[in-house]
Structure 1
Amino acid sequence: MISLSEGLSIQQGPTYHLKGKVIEKKNGEPIVGASITWNNGTEGKVTDVNGVFSVQLLSGNYKLTISAVGKKTITKEINIKEDKSLSFTLENDVVQLSEVTVRSTTDVTHLNSASMGVNRLSIQSIKQMPALMGEVDVMNSIVTLPGISSVGEGAGGINVRGGSVGQNLVLFDGAPIYYTSHLFGFFSVFNQDVTDNVTLYKGSMPARYGGRVSSVIAVESLNTLVDSMRFIGGIGLISSRLTWVTPVISNKLGLMVSTRTTYSDWLLKSASNPQLKSSSASFLDLNAKVDYQLNDRSKLTFSTYYGRDQFAFDADTSYMYGNFASTLNYHVELNGGMNFTGLATISDNFSSVLGDYSNQQFELNINNRNTSVKMFLGAELGQHYVEVGGEANIYELRPGNLKPTSEKSIVNEIKIENDLGREFGLFTEATFKFDKIKFITGLRYSAYQKMGSYTSYSYDNSETKSVNSIIDTTYYGRSEKVIDYSGLEPRISLSYNIDSQQSFKLGYQRTRQYMHLIANNVAIAPTDIYKLSNEHIEPQIGDQWSIGYFRNFRADMYESSAELYYRKTQNTIDYKDGAQLLLNNVLETELVNGAGIAYGAEFSLIKTAGKLTGRLSYTYSRAFIQVDGEFDEEVINEGKLYPAYYDKPHDFTTILSYKLSSQLSLNMNFTYSTGRPVSIPISKYEVGAIAIGEFSNRNQYRIPDFHRMDVSFNYVPQNSKRKFESSWTFGIYNLYGRKNPFSVFFRDQNGAPPQAYRLAILGIPFPSITYNFKF
């Protein structure tokens, strides 16, 4: 006989399938990330994006505990002697003036899961963080997590555990998103009213994901199956948003349409940079989603997203860039604890530059498309879970088309050859649970083919690759295979529960990346291009080892963690000095091949209950590259290790929220990090009338350290109308007006040594106010 809960027990016997759904009492919406536990909390499940969980249980009596963020916890006693399908309803917790509890689904997996380096955030937990520029933000919230950083203000994209921006796979409802930010990185492309939950994998990447060596960020949109029509939105000084969710057929068909836009030119007028003061910028987001519940076991979902930015520096150059992504998802629960998911996506990222100079009127267009199909089958086998599946991706990259836009323009038309390729993956993963030991083992096999039409250049092996060393040209026709790469990608993670309050974890993963971001600027820009692996550019291969210790204190009021990691990346791309990357038909002549090394330690302390809640995190992280080629042009820093441009050894972040009353809360965010590396001129000499600068070794100096404090007040007025909810958010970004340098540049001083100057994007306190509503 095995005791499972207070006063209850079961006999060993056959297993049955329990399927459950957790919904909100107020509106019938599914609750994502709800925790269902039994066996005194030692075993559990978390609901998926549809509020559903499933598990195989031995026959007998169980006491289930169901809990979720901001909801009253309930317990249910059930008897399992056949397959069952149940529904659980949770109501909002009454706010007590003496205490408030803030939890994300991280606390469910913090101790009991075998996964390492995984953070799960619901939109409710993200909203507990300070609202920057008047809005809570998915990507800016992720940056506050340990092991995550950015190169500075005004830079889109994030760096995960010493990886570059291009080594992250960002998915929205399963479709890849390449431009993840608006307005120079101050806003992310994910509307808070559309987002439901976010999962960051930086250590234990599931086998179903591939194609990137650093991390996966999976963002899921809200479920549209609601019982009544509702409007959600906000009006602010910088941006406004409106979302409409409505049932088309009750409990069967739901629809969501959403838009968000900005009127941010006045923000640029507040910038300290004169060029930014004379600039203009705006962005737009459009989302739509349809959920169709075919029956009680299957569901069909279609979602689509379009977003773009437009900005201009002065009056002669304007930029536009953005994303389009659509997803069709079919999910069905089968008999015997099995489930099947089929996913088809199409994703575009696009950019254009318009120039209007005296005799140079031009348009430059860059566009990339990714079409994919993925299918996987999962099965509950008692306390174990097994998943198998496969996927196929087709890449069509258009890395540049330059054309004149007037007859008087002296610009010549240049069209860079399209870059075509195919990637396939087969994967399997199993989760095993044995008393105190749990582990996940996964294996992925990926195969990639570079396809024509394509022109291949052969180079003289006795000298570095350049236009002058081309000795032969080979042309491949449409759909003709040029070269292929393939390999296994094993992953394994293990957890040992020392007791109910502490656990120890180990992990290893290998990942392969066949598409590369080519950009020698530190921030994401509209002129960035992607390049597929070919006969000259080999796939990146990343191997990461990690170890961690996790402990909770005082009835889980405090959660602490410490993780160490080491990653080695083969075939890391860097650039020759003075590399010309844009509109280059022989791009491989500007690239050098190296090895990347990253290692670090991450520490986190979270307080989840009480008037004061929040998180303290510190990360020590190093990222180095070594390039030691055969020729002088292919050697950087004498072949020795040098810091990557995103190497920031120290990163400290504090996020605090204090509940002043049932209506008012104060939030604060403070962050400090080491300045990023730069190369600077150390001397100059003249050849005739030409001055030539001599630079330091690559990235041997650093810009000043970065630090900033943001505060916000949230006010929720009492409202007698139960169907109407509203709140006010008052915030100050960069409270003490720190002029954080984005870059350092030098100017000649009439024969004197060059003088260094710092470029700060926003060096003043910036206030914001937003009115949020839901009815």
Structure 2
Amino acid sequence: MKFNTIGFLLAFFFSPFFLFGQESIRLDRSYQGLSLASALDSIQKQNKVRIFYQPKWVEGQKVTQNTQGVMLVDFLNQSVQASGLKAVTYHGTIVFVANNPELYQIENSADDDLVVIGDQNAKLNEIVSVKGYISDGTNDEPLIGARVYITSLNIGTVTDFNGNYDLRVPVGKYTIEYSSISYENKPIDVIIKSAGKLDVALFSGSLQLDELVITADGQDANVQQRVSGLENMDIKTIKQLPTFMGEVDPVKSLTTMPGISTTGELSSGFNVRGGETGQNLILQDGAVIYNPTHLFGFYSAFNSDMVNEVNLYKGGGPANFGGRISSVLDIKLRHGDDEEYKVSGGVGLVSSRLTAEGPILKNKASFIVGGRTSYTNWLLHSLKNIELNSSSAAFYDTNVKLLYRIGDKDYLTGSFYLSHDDFNLAGDAQYDWGTTNFSLEWSHVFGAKWMSSLVLATSNYEVKSENTENELEAFSFRNGIRNVVGKYEILYKMHPKNTISAGIEYNHHQIEPGVLKPFVGNTSIDPVDVSDQQAHEVAIYIQDDWDLGARLALSAGLRASGFWRVGEGEIYDFESGEQVNRVPSSIDSVFYGKGDLISSFSGLEPRLSMRYLLTTSASLKMSYYRTFQYLHMISNTVSATPQDYYITSGPNLDPQYADQYSLGLFKNYRNNLYQISGEVFYKKMYNTVDFIEGAELLANEELDGSLVQGDGKAYGVEVQLKKNSGKLSGWVSYTYSRSLKRFEGDYDYETINNGDYYGSNNDKPHDLSMVLSYKLGARWVLSANFSYSTGRPITVPVSNFRFDKTPSVLTYSERNAYRIPDYHRLDLSLTLLPTLKKSSLLSGEWIFSIYNVYGRKNAYSIYFTQWGGAKKMSILGSVFPSVTYNFSISK
């Protein structure tokens, strides 16, 4: 069966002639006596073929012949020949083109607003290529996914990642509509004489709040897009949500969408459809982000002033992404303005940011630099938690992005990211962690249909911690991960309805699991240096996005990945058997030299997403994704923390993989004013990792023996209702889901909860988000965000006993058998927008926000004393008001 499936996919990808044969359609009935317009409409429905024409060309005409048994194209040509028309096939459709120049009035047109494309007259029935570049008129930044459309022919296309488009259209006179959500539509009347070029700049509308949910493909994109499980948010949308202390957070904004949640208060780590935090691939301009947080999750690692687009794939995404089994978060930073210098920023109560951009070479090269810093100690001192109240913290980050247009066909971009955090817990424990990333991308356009992209990136994440509470037990600990990636991709636009991409990707992983060093004079802790882990990961892939007709569209891909762990390093063999009732000890080990192959794995990852249009405003989508993950994140906490670290698959640890299925219905009402969607999903996970009771996870040279692998499953229903414009706009998202694990081994120590399924740390059945925005006037906007979720699972003591004066001995429940209290919170913000006057040098807005309006003391965790008493810990149990001033200065 596997070979048949692979053969079908290969045939599907490489068969450019697998199209519709209109020339072979023979009419099976007579339309004699009907109007030509009615006959054409009936033919389209009965033969599942699309015929494009202008209605005025067939007005008043009737079918005068018996059409039964006549070839379709012959009938069409005979019917419209007298009108100076001709029927030609064009990429799976039939288009009427003119033999009569008067229908187009190409020559000697007196309309001064007409734009003439082409410098020579092509044949009147010839289909030619109109190319161009669509940009933001304020900064010349390319608009990705902008729409180019000719209504009269129902033909269009969208721009690629460089803002370029290629529209194939018959010569003639048309109105081309250029549009992109949050930008004003721009219709242009054109005369297309031959192949040519037309560049267009679009400008934002004066009232940008009319669009709350931003997508890349225009109106009805949620219905029309082929890829299932894609959440796309523009930074303009993200900035409208209520914020914590005035800081905009792209990741937290995504958690208001169905199927996306967090496990704890103020955690920037996120969980997608029952997956774990470490099962998400997070990319910023192609470089991996391993810890998407600042200050233990108080802030996101992403500077909103630098972000251009946020895309989250909830099922693993197209075949050009891989390496994680839960989701892909792809964040693109914006380019700097290459025409004028600008400065923008914001000043808040706990952090400030500043961004500068401008041309290096006008219209050729540009830069953008952004930085943030914090002054958060007063915030920690106001928290109810005693340890946090006595602590201090700070962070900073910097982004730099350069763009250089080598020519019309080549673009070079470089992106640099540096971040650093330090946290002193109650004067005893010191944590420092930081990220240094760099990426370089070269985009090349070979011609009308071919383009390529080469990405080289490095990621370096390091964590250091010290504990000086007791001089005799003082120690320092560090761990980290480094990654180098090279990715080359070629994209081929076979025609506007079929785009094929293929590529190869290489990752080199270097992991330092941990180095533990005692301070001078400390004799109670032995130094430990866990062997570094090295691995090579290679993948080849092919992806095809194809409209198979007026209703059916596919996004299909195949990814083949391989993983090789190499030395040097020591691999342990562990004891096993019924007699082992504790964490197993090693009984032998093998040392591998530098570069020696330790173990290898491979996987085949098919991806398929289908969309079927029920109507022009409703669609049915279904998908299947298989994904492999060769790295495992080791954590004993429920939220993303700096102490989490990765290890590779190897002789004692198999790679994780998952199969996910989804089925969804999407419907828009009243010209996209309302959107409603419902989706069900089921995900089966294999070789998931948990730890054995009593395991030591920090600086453990024999960590493999403390881990156990098993199965997991997640399933659920996601529902969302959106209102996109008007005084009141926003969305309501609800998810019911379960995330379960099961570990049943050959021996007792490998079995958890008697081998039954139990809730994972992120198993929260009910999750509700409400995001509303109300325009109080031309410049005042009131926003609200309410969230509710079921409390996460925990393990609690169920009984205790004492003997004489000894402390209680606690007996714990099965793992994750109980839950903390349910979570709910309301946030409000009031925004005073900038003046609508565009002549001002300085533009500014004020944001007044209240986080946790009714002061809910949501439980972060439940702790138990040695006597079995319970204590609830709340990170934020107070109301947090804030005020932020955002500004921009342009030349």
Question: Contact 1:154–1:742 (CA<8 Å) still a contact in 2?
Answer: no
Counterpart pick for 2:849 among 728, 731, 745: 731
Residue by residue over 1:701-729, the C-alpha shift from the partner in whole angstroms, topping out at 9 and shown as x without a partner, is: 11000000000011024367433211011
| TM, length-normalised to structure 1 | 0.95
Counterpart pick for 1:745 among 848, 856, 863: 863
- 1:759 equivalent to 2:836? Answer no
- 1:475 equivalent to 2:604? Answer no
Which residue number corresponds to residue 3 of structure 1?
Answer: 52
> CA, structure 1 residues 78+377, in 2 after alignment: closer, same or farther (shift >3 Å)?
farther
Distance 1:467 1:597 in 2: 26
Single out whichever of 471-480 and 590-599 deviates more from structure 2. Answer: 471-480
SS at match of 1:455: strand
Distance 1:467 1:748 in 2: 23
Q: Per-residue deviation at 1:171?
A: 0.2
SS at match of 1:283: strand
Distance 1:199 1:212 in 2: 16
Residue by residue over 1:140-169, the C-alpha shift from the partner in whole angstroms, topping out at 9 and shown as x without a partner, is: 101111100001214331000000000000
What is the identity, as a one-letter code, of the residue corresponding to 2:559? R
Q: How many residues align?
A: 769
Q: Per-residue deviation at 1:133?
A: 1.7
> CA, structure 1 residues 201+37, in 2 after alignment: closer, same or farther (shift >3 Å)?
farther
Residue by residue over 1:645-686, the C-alpha shift from the partner in whole angstroms, topping out at 9 and shown as x without a partner, is: 100100110001111111111110000000000010001134
> CA, structure 1 residues 80+373, in 2 after alignment: closer, same or farther (shift >3 Å)?
farther
> CA, structure 1 residues 640+262, in 2 after alignment: closer, same or farther (shift >3 Å)?
same
Distance 1:532 1:184 in 2: 24
- 1:529 equivalent to 2:645? Answer yes
Which residue number corresponds to residue 261 of structure 2?
Answer: 149
> CA, structure 1 residues 466+337, in 2 after alignment: closer, same or farther (shift >3 Å)?
farther
SS at match of 1:583: coil
Distance 1:181 1:81 in 2: 55
Question: Contact 2:472–2:521 (CA<8 Å) still a contact in 1?
Answer: no
Question: Contact 1:49–1:220 (CA<8 Å) still a contact in 2?
Answer: no
What is the identity, as a one-letter code, of the residue corresponding to 2:649? S
- 1:224 equivalent to 2:336? Answer yes
Counterpart pick for 2:759 among 626, 629, 643: 643
Distance 2:747 2:856 in 1: 44
Single out whichever of 614-623 and 401-410 deviates more from structure 2. Answer: 401-410
Which residue number corresponds to residue 369 of structure 1?
Answer: 482
Residue by residue over 1:343-368, the C-alpha shift from the partner in whole angstroms, topping out at 9 and shown as x without a partner, is: 00100111100222322332211111
- 1:437 equivalent to 2:549? Answer no
> CA, structure 1 residues 75+11, in 2 after alignment: closer, same or farther (shift >3 Å)?
farther
Distance 1:602 1:533 in 2: 33
SS at match of 1:237: coil
Distance 2:316 2:522 in 1: 57
Q: Per-residue deviation at 1:34?
A: 3.1
- 1:164 equivalent to 2:276? Answer yes
> Could you tell me the percent identity over the aligned residues?
36
Counterpart pick for 2:538 among 415, 418, 424: 424
What is the identity, as a one-letter code, of the residue corresponding to 2:293? S
Which residue number corresponds to residue 768 of structure 1?
Answer: 882
Q: Per-residue deviation at 1:695?
A: 0.6
What is the identity, as a one-letter code, of the residue corresponding to 2:231? N
Q: Per-residue deviation at 1:88?
A: 1.3
SS at match of 1:124: helix
Residue by residue over 1:589-648, the C-alpha shift from the partner in whole angstroms, topping out at 9 and shown as x without a partner, is: 111111010001111111111111101110011100011111111111111110001001
Question: Contact 1:56–1:381 (CA<8 Å) still a contact in 2?
Answer: no
Distance 1:215 1:720 in 2: 41
Specify the structure having the higher radius of gyration (Cα): 2
Which residue number corresponds to residue 832 of structure 2?
Answer: 715
Which residue number corresponds to residue 695 of structure 1?
Answer: 812
SS at match of 2:638: coil
Question: Contact 2:464–2:478 (CA<8 Å) still a contact in 1?
Answer: yes
SS at match of 1:610: coil
SS at match of 2:546: strand
> CA, structure 1 residues 24+608, in 2 after alignment: closer, same or farther (shift >3 Å)?
same
- 1:12 equivalent to 2:89? Answer yes
Which residue number corresponds to residue 704 of structure 1?
Answer: 821
SS at match of 1:589: helix
> CA, structure 1 residues 486+11, in 2 after alignment: closer, same or farther (shift >3 Å)?
same
Which residue number corresponds to residue 10 of structure 2?
Answer: none
> CA, structure 1 residues 177+652, in 2 after alignment: closer, same or farther (shift >3 Å)?
same
Distance 2:127 2:323 in 1: 38
Which residue number corresponds to residue 44 of structure 2?
Answer: none
Q: Per-residue deviation at 1:44?
A: 4.9
Single out whichever of 49-58 and 337-346 deviates more from structure 2. Answer: 49-58
Question: Contact 1:56–1:380 (CA<8 Å) still a contact in 2?
Answer: no
- 1:501 equivalent to 2:611? Answer no
Which residue number corresponds to residue 414 of structure 1?
Answer: 528
Q: Per-residue deviation at 1:38?
A: 3.9
What are the equivalent positions in structure 2 for 1:256-275 lying under 5 Å apart?
A: 256-275=368-387
Q: Per-residue deviation at 1:30?
A: 3.2
Gap runs ≥5 in structure 2 = 1-49, 58-84, 91-125
- 1:209 equivalent to 2:258? Answer no
> CA, structure 1 residues 254+746, in 2 after alignment: closer, same or farther (shift >3 Å)?
same
What is the identity, as a one-letter code, of the residue corresponding to 1:412? D
What is the identity, as a one-letter code, of the residue corresponding to 1:12? T
Distance 1:679 1:107 in 2: 46
Single out whichever of 220-229 and 626-635 deviates more from structure 2. Answer: 220-229
Which residue number corresponds to residue 467 of structure 2?
Answer: 355
Q: Per-residue deviation at 1:458?
A: 2.1
Q: Per-residue deviation at 1:83?
A: 4.5
- 1:518 equivalent to 2:660? Answer no
Which residue number corresponds to residue 501 of structure 2?
Answer: 387
What are the equivalent positions in structure 2 for 1:241-320 lying under 5 Å apart?
A: 241-320=353-432
Distance 1:612 1:550 in 2: 22
> CA, structure 1 residues 78+462, in 2 after alignment: closer, same or farther (shift >3 Å)?
farther
> CA, structure 1 residues 285+113, in 2 after alignment: closer, same or farther (shift >3 Å)?
same
> CA, structure 1 residues 24+116, in 2 after alignment: closer, same or farther (shift >3 Å)?
same
SS at match of 1:727: strand
> CA, structure 1 residues 79+7, in 2 after alignment: closer, same or farther (shift >3 Å)?
farther
Distance 1:150 1:200 in 2: 15
What is the identity, as a one-letter code, of the residue corresponding to 1:347? S
SS at match of 2:543: strand
> CA, structure 1 residues 374+21, in 2 after alignment: closer, same or farther (shift >3 Å)?
same
What is the identity, as a one-letter code, of the residue corresponding to 1:456? I
Give the number of the structure with larger relative contact order, counting CA–CA contacts within 8 Å between residues 6 or more apart. 1
- 1:568 equivalent to 2:672? Answer no
State the Cα RMSD in Å.
2.2
Distance 2:193 2:142 in 1: 26
Residue by residue over 1:423-481, the C-alpha shift from the partner in whole angstroms, topping out at 9 and shown as x without a partner, is: 00000011111221101110000000011102112234535597765333211110111
Which residue number corresponds to residue 459 of structure 1?
Answer: 574
Higher share of residues assigned strand: 1
Which residue number corresponds to residue 31 of structure 1?
Answer: 143
Counterpart pick for 1:545 among 658, 661, 664: 661
SS at match of 2:275: coil
Distance 2:808 2:128 in 1: 80
Distance 2:462 2:56 in 1: 62
Q: Per-residue deviation at 1:748?
A: 5.1
> CA, structure 1 residues 720+394, in 2 after alignment: closer, same or farther (shift >3 Å)?
closer
